[in-house]
Amino acid sequence: MTSVSQLMPDRRIRQLELTITRRLDGLLRGEYAGLLPGAGSELAGSREYRPGEDEVRRMDWAVTARTDMPHIRETVAEHELSTHVLVDATPSMDFGTVELEKRELAVAAVAAIGFLTAGAGNRLGAGILTSEGVRRYPARAGRVHLIGLLRKLLALPRAQEGQQVPLADGIRGLHRALRRRALVVIVSDFLDESDWAREMRRLGTQHQVIAIEVTDPREMELPDVGLLTVVDPETGRKREIATGSRALRERYAAAAAEQRLAVQQGLRSAGAAHVALSTGRDWVADIVRHVHAQRRLALGGRR
């Protein structure tokens, strides 16, 4: 796993670019079907439905009713790709117990999306969800624009504790701002009590959506380190916990597993492609696995 946390911002960006281009460039560049959760975004007619190969959500109901035979919509990839990322920079992202914090892993994910979709005419826009609201950056093309976005992400100050902007509000605002079909990437830990799944479901009716879930191993289990003072990063509330209690550690692990399951179910119900990244794993390898899975899906399960 590449460690970038100890490098200066420009060196971090350069290290990320080298990592992405060396390990992923040949796999993804110019082949959007490997990165996108669907087969394209421009309507290109209809064809008969193939059971076991086609997704029901692509059903063309008008043609199906007219012909009495199930048909799906055929699509082709756009020549110019418009990508918009929404990055969660609220307090819960300022956490990490391995080599990276979740906020740094989020920057790495944005860098991967940016460098791998870079090309003639392809544009990248961004929204950063902070404690004060959403900072929006219009979609533009070019490496200089991408580097500028990454610098802004790395330069963000620590989020302030207290009242936070709900993730659902950030997704809703992005949906309203988009004027044409695009690839939308939401990077978050999804530790948010708002109904973000409903907003993502609405977003997915018009756009292709990828949800990049960022986690840390310590969020899943509590270590036995004696009396531990914990702080809720979203509210600032503090509490002392006796971690020596095995029963308490088991309850914590069960609650954490239930929480992550709820996130997974929410993403599934929203119809978003799910990429799970962890500060304790090789994030590049996780992206590669997602790409392979999407390609198998696009080929109807065939290798």
Q: pTM to 2 decimals?
A: 0.78
CA nearest to 85, candidates 33, 34, 20, 139: 139
- Helix (H) or strand (E) holding 127, with range, is strand 123-129
Is the CB of residue 124 less than 8 Å from the CB of residue 149? yes
Q: 276: which 2 tokens?
A: 């799970």
- CA dist 197 and 195 (Å) reads 5
Binned average pLDDT, 10 residues per bin, the chain of 303 residues:
58 84 61 46 62 72 79 62 92 86 93 81 91 90 91 86 83 92 94 93 92 93 80 73 86 92 94 93 87 68 46
pLDDT tens digits, residue range 8-62?
A: 678 888 888 888 877 766 555 444 444 544 444 444 456 777 776 676 767 778 7
Cα distances (Å, whole numbers) of residue 244 to 32, 96, 223, 303: 50, 22, 8, 49
